Amino acid sequence: MTVAIEITQEKILDAAIRHVPFDGWSLAAWSRGAADAGIGSLDARRLYPGNPGVMMSCHSKIMDRRMLAALETRGLDNLRGRERISAAVRARLEVTAGDREAVRRGVSLMATPFYALLATRLLYRTVDAMWAAAGDASTDYNHYTKRALLAGVYGVVVLYWLNDKSEGCADTWSFLDRRIADVMKAPKLMSAPGRILKRLSIPSKLFRRRSKFA
C-alpha cells in the first residue's frame, strides 16, 4: 500500500468515525465519511478496508501511531517505568477521546465471539507499542508477562473511561494509577506468565514478538 493511499484512507476514517455511533463500523459510515472528506464514492469503495473488523484494525493502528507521536513530546526519559506506562495508557485514550462513542461501538462488537481473536491481536499490538515506547527491551518471558499484565490493566481502564463523566477524565486517571500500582505490588505474578495469560484468557501463541496482525 502506498503512502498516498494510506493518507487517503486515514482521511476517510477520520471523517467516518463521526458516523460510526449511528451506522456502526460499516460501509455506510465509511461512505458518509468519504463524502464529508470530499472523496468520490468509487474511490471510497476501492479504499474500503473490506469489513468492520479490518476497519476497526485500521483505526486502532492509526491511534497507536498517534499515541507514539504524542509520547515523543512528553519527555518519558525523565519518568520512572510505571510513570512511563501510565503516560502511554493516558496518551492512547487522549488521542482517541474524540472517538469515544465509536470506540464504545467497537468494544461491543469486539466482545462477540466472532471478533474475539482480532480483539486480542489489536490489544496486544497496542500494549506492545506502549511497552516499546516506555523503553522495554526484554526478550525472555518477562517480555510476555509485561504485555499480559498491561493488557489486563488497559482493558479495564478503557471500560472505565467509556463511562467516565468527570471533568477532564480525572476519575479515569486516578483509576489508572491505582491499577498500575496494584500490578507493581504483585511481584510474584511477574514470574508467572503462563498463569497470567490463562487468567486473562489470552492465548499465549498470540504473544510473539513478530506476530502479524489484521
Residue 213 lies in a domain: no
Please check whether residues 80 and 144 belong to one and the same domain: yes
pLDDT tens-digit series, residues 154-192: 999 999 999 999 999 999 999 999 998 887 765 554 444
Please check whether residues 29 and 65 belong to one and the same domain: no
Please check whether residues 202 and 171 belong to one and the same domain: yes
- Name the residue range of residue 27's domain: 1-48
pLDDT at 186: 57
Cβ neighbours of 205 (radius 10 Å): 8
Residues of the chain with pLDDT under 50: 189-214
Please check whether residues 84 and 111 belong to one and the same domain: yes
Residue 212 lies in a domain: no
If you search the block for the grid coordinates 458518509, which residue do you land on?
A: 32
Q: How many domains does the chain have?
A: 2
Residue 214 lies in a domain: no
Please check whether residues 41 and 70 belong to one and the same domain: no
pLDDT at 142: 81
Please check whether residues 32 and 115 belong to one and the same domain: no
pLDDT at 69: 95
d(CA 207, CA 204): 5
Please check whether residues 117 and 178 belong to one and the same domain: yes
Please check whether residues 127 and 95 belong to one and the same domain: yes
Please check whether residues 28 and 99 belong to one and the same domain: no
Residue 57 DSSP label:
H
d(CA 125, CA 123): 5
